[in-house]
């Protein structure tokens, strides 16, 4: 899913990837202090572990900045509340802790910032008063601006009456995983996923954009996938740069007939798609401009 109140995502890659061996260890804030590595935060009796009663979010830190960190923290809290939990922290407290954690790493470290909120008691229905949280900062390089390939997934996004699609919930990701696994078995890096009506929703772990004749389009938000925070930012930046950006119904035929296709998500930010099924694409000027605009905006610390 995308980096939307879904996921944030990098096309062709999971939201989590191992850090380089030379990187410093991950840091996790849990129960009032920072821990190195991978601390135990829940047991087998926790509904967060065996019932999927958990939500998470993902933000990025790099070069001393954390673009839209406040919005990621706000989405984490909103997701937890949507799930029926009572978050023991506010969005502002999450953001403060994330910035405190960032300061513990060398300035050039590229970080994946992941708040995790879960229920630690309850049977089927989580006990809201048992809600706990942890905040992890993990060294994770931002992927280079290289192209990826995608196929059409046989699996679809669920409708709002079929799953908690308005939350960035851990229980939604087994569906993402089977989309990714199917694509890789077929020799592709990622998958394009349809919504229950048969229209394009997004890539399996990132939001989807197309461009044709300098008009940019992305699937309209319909509740089956998250409105990614990076997606929203790129729409704004492209519009400010003079591009016509449409949020509308997008079909697979629209994708195959586009001049270029690209993704947005928290993990990789902007990535060009260079093949959809048997149709090849070039890394185009719109995707290149979107990435340049995003990182210029982010590094300006706005």
Question: Where in the sequence of the chain do the CATH 3.30.470.10 domains occur?
Answer: 27-139
- Nearest alpha-carbon partner for 142 in 55, 269, 48: 269
Tokens read off for 150: 């995608």
Question: Where in the sequence of the chain do the CATH 3.20.10.10 domains occur?
Answer: 148-299
**pLDDT higher at 137 or 11:** 137
Secondary structure (3-state) at 84: coil
- Would the pTM of this model clear 0.95, i.e. be above it? no
Pairwise CA distance, residues 83 & 14, whole Å = 23
Q: Are 254 and 200 in contact (CB under 8 A)?
A: yes
What does the pLDDT average to over 204-221? 97
Percentage of the chain modeled with pLDDT above 70: 93
pLDDT value at residue 19: 47
Q: 27-139 has which CATH code? A: 3.30.470.10
CA torsion 86→92→94→96, rounded to 10°?
A: -160
* Mean pLDDT across the chain: 93
pLDDT digits (tens, 9 = 90+) for 124-135: 999 999 999 999
C-alpha atoms less than 13 angstroms from C-alpha of 83 in its C-beta half-sphere: 36
* Alpha-helical runs (H) found in the chain: 47-50, 69-82, 91-102, 173-185, 229-240, 252-256, 285-299
pLDDT digits (tens, 9 = 90+) for 6-64: 333 334 343 344 444 578 999 999 999 999 999 999 999 999 999 999 999 999 999 99
Give the number of other CB atoms < 10 A from CB of residue 115: 29
Q: Are 118 and 132 in contact (CB under 8 A)?
A: yes
CATH class of 148-299: alpha beta
């Amino acid at each position: 899913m995308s980096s939307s109140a879904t996921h944030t995502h990098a096309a062709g890659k999971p939201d989590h990837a191992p850090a380089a061996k030379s990187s410093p260890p991950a840091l996790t804030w849990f129960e009032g202090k920072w821990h190195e590595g991978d601390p135990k935060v829940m047991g087998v009796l926790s509904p967060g572990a065996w019932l999927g009663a958990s939500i998470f979010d993902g933000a990025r830190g790099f070069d001393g900045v954390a673009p839209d960190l406040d919005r990621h923290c706000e989405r984490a809290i909103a997701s937890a509340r949507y799930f029926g939990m009572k978050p023991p922290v506010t969005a502002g407290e999450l953001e403060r802790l994330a910035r405190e954690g960032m300061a513990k790493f060398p300035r050039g470290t590229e970080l994946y910032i992941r708040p995790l909120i879960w229920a630690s008691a309850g049977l089927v229905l989580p006990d809201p008063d048992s809600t706990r949280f942890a905040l992890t900062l993990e060294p994770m390089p931002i992927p280079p601006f290289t192209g990826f390939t995608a196929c059409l997934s046989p699996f679809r996004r669920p409708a709002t009456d079929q799953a908690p699609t308005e939350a960035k919930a851990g229980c939604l990701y087994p569906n993402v995983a089977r989309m990714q696994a199917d694509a890789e078995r077929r020799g592709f890096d990622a998958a394009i996923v349809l919504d229950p009506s048969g229209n394009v929703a997004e890539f399996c772990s990132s939001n989807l954009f197309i461009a044709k004749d300098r008009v940019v389009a992305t699937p309209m938000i319909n509740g089956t996938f998250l409105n990614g925070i990076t997606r929203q930012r790129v729409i704004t930046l492209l519009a400010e740069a003079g591009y016509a950006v449409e949020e509308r119904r997008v079909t697979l035929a629209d994708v195959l007939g586009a001049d270029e296709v690209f993704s947005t998500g928290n993990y990789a930010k902007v990535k060009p798609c260079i093949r959809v099924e048997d149709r090849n694409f070039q890394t185009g000027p719109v995707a290149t401009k979107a990435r340049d605009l995003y990182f210029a905006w982010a590094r300006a610390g706005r």
